Each structure stands twice: as C-alpha cells, then as structure tokens.
Amino acid sequence: MDYKLVLLLALAAVALAKPQESFPPASYNFEYNVQDAESGNNFGHNEAREGDNTQGSYRVLLPDGKELVVSYTVDGDGGFIAAATLDGVPLHEA
C-alpha cells in the first residue's frame, strides 16, 4: 500500500513541476457581408479584438425594408455593452 502513496506523490510532483502554458493575448479581425438581390438577403458582421478589448457590429435588412444595426463592445471583465439602431434611430442603449 505504501508504494501507491509514493507513486501518487511522485506523479503529483511531476505535475506540479511542469511549467504552465501561456498564450499570447487574443488578436483578430473579421468581416463578412451578404447581399443577394434575388432572395432579398442583406446582412453582415464585423469584429475586431486586441487582448481583452473587442468591438463589433452586425446588421440585417428586416422584411419591412428597415435596417437593424447592433454595435457592441466588450472591455475585459466589464461585460457586453450593445447599442441597437433601426434606420439610424437609436432603439436601445445599455
């Protein structure tokens, strides 16, 4: 039974001695747009991130012809903050 304890302690020592992996801060940028006159689809999304700061927006053409745009930011642990507009008129800001 003592060999199990020794083995467990040896494995724990190896696991603790292994250096932790560290990753560089996130950094990306993307965008897409869809405009198809035949089907009426017209929407898009863009987002950029540098470390803990993210900014982006998405838009969609609604069936009544109005365009809904939602812009957002995320600043670290500050949470998701969004503002929506419909044809340029603010709907809601958080």
pTM: 0.68
CA distances from 51 to 57, 65, 79, 83, 87 (A): 18, 37, 14, 22, 32
Summarised one tens digit per residue, pLDDT across range 28-63 is 999 999 999 898 889 999 999 999 999 999 999 988
Per-chain mean pLDDT for the chain: 86
Summarised one tens digit per residue, pLDDT across range 1-17 is 577 777 777 777 777 77
- Give residue 50's identity as a one-letter amino acid code: E
Rounded (10°) CA dihedral 38, 62, 48, 90:
150
Distance CA 81, CA 91 (A): 14
Mean pLDDT of 65-82: 92
